[in-house]
Amino acid sequence: MLNRFVINEKFRYKTNDFNFRLGFLEETTCKRSVLFNRIDHWKNVLLKYCKLQPGQNIMLYMNQTSLDVFAIYIAVIECDLNLVNINPDLLIHTLADSELEKSNLQFTRNYNYFDLADIKFNAQVNYVQMGTSLLYNNPCNEIKINDVKITGSLLHTKYLNTNLFAEFMLPALASENIEYHSALGYTNVDEGMQKIANAVHKLGIQNILLPSLDTIDVFKKHCKTRNLDLSKIKIISYDDGLCYSNAINYQEARDTFLLDLPKKFNLQGKILEDENNFYFQFFKPIDNNIAKVKIKAINTAIKTKYDKIIEKWAVIDGNDTDEAMIIFRNLK
């Protein structure tokens, strides 16, 4: 059964100067036992404080990863709750109120992570896991923990890309070849990648998870300004399959047809593909009538090649693909 014991006995978490709970017990250098304690804390939070029932849906929107984020994911599984990315019964997040509204999540029952992290409980939850949860529509007992072919230190960033949870986070936690885990995150991509590049340099990180190809481009730019040797850093991301920086040309990894289509219609924006859905992200405001005409024309081209059309479009600043995906998924 998928539970905390997937975490390798050699697991070690190392804090850094940029962690958002630096100085707290769960954000110091620690071993698996401390992570287990935090899993118990979050099981109490979910079942006792939030009063969730097995089979209910929970969404995690954490723009900063930490040891606690690992604990929350495992606690959700052990409480037989379903991980979803749309229409949850409860949202746990690290967003400001304005960001909740921007993502159309303000009317969802929600708690900020910081309001839940330090609640005190006198006893552990006695709930017995049944193994019935769905993890982004996949039954948890059907998820296979594959090997991750990395060794040394690993810096986790954001897990808003749901594919990365089962295909990278769980295998990484299970690996005995990772010397230590560390974690960061960001709100603004450009500022965040600058901070993360500093941490990679300071900590001598050998492997780093980045949630999208767009963030890799920004990260590489900041590494170049710091004269960091990227040949010594393995970058892991997800784009229709796990990608590794030393084995793939990221520009070629994108579908050039979708990449070039906005340019053909003189649009400042990009097409996003989310499982079976296409969205269009306008980078700058555009008249609604003009947008409808442009989207209709683009859909004619997409329909021929993919037998799908752009279902939703919106003006979204920035180049964080995963943030944009959350917004589109929750647009009515």
Q: Kindly list the averaged pLDDT for each block of 10 residues, start to end, along the chain of length 332.
A: 96 84 74 96 98 98 93 98 96 92 90 95 92 96 92 95 92 97 91 91 93 87 88 86 66 70 90 87 92 93 89 85 87 80
- The strand pair at 234-238 and 57-61 is best described as unpaired
pLDDT of residue 257: 81
**How many residues does this entry show for the chain?**
332
Q: By C-alpha distance, which of 36, 323, 24, 21 is closest to 173?
A: 36
pLDDT of residue 184: 93
- How high is the pLDDT of residue 331? 85
pLDDT of residue 24: 73
Q: Using an 8 Å Cβ cutoff, are 209 and 168 in contact?
A: yes
Q: Among candidates 45, 43, 49, 104, which has minimal Cα distance to 79?
A: 43
Angle at 142 between CA 140 and CA 148, to 5 degrees: 90
Domain ranges of the chain: 4-143, 255-329
For 229, which DSSP code?
Answer: -
| Cβ atoms of residues 83 and 140 within 8 Å | no
The structural architecture, per CATH, of the domain 4-143 is 3-Layer(aba) Sandwich (3.40)
- Contacts for 281-290: CB closer than 8 Å, 24+ residues apart: 281/313, 281/314, 281/315, 281/316, 281/324, 281/328, 282/313, 282/314, 282/315, 282/316, 283/315, 283/316, 283/317, 284/315, 285/315, 286/315
Q: Which structure tokens are listed for 239? A: 């784009």
Architecture of domain 255-329: 2-Layer Sandwich (3.30)
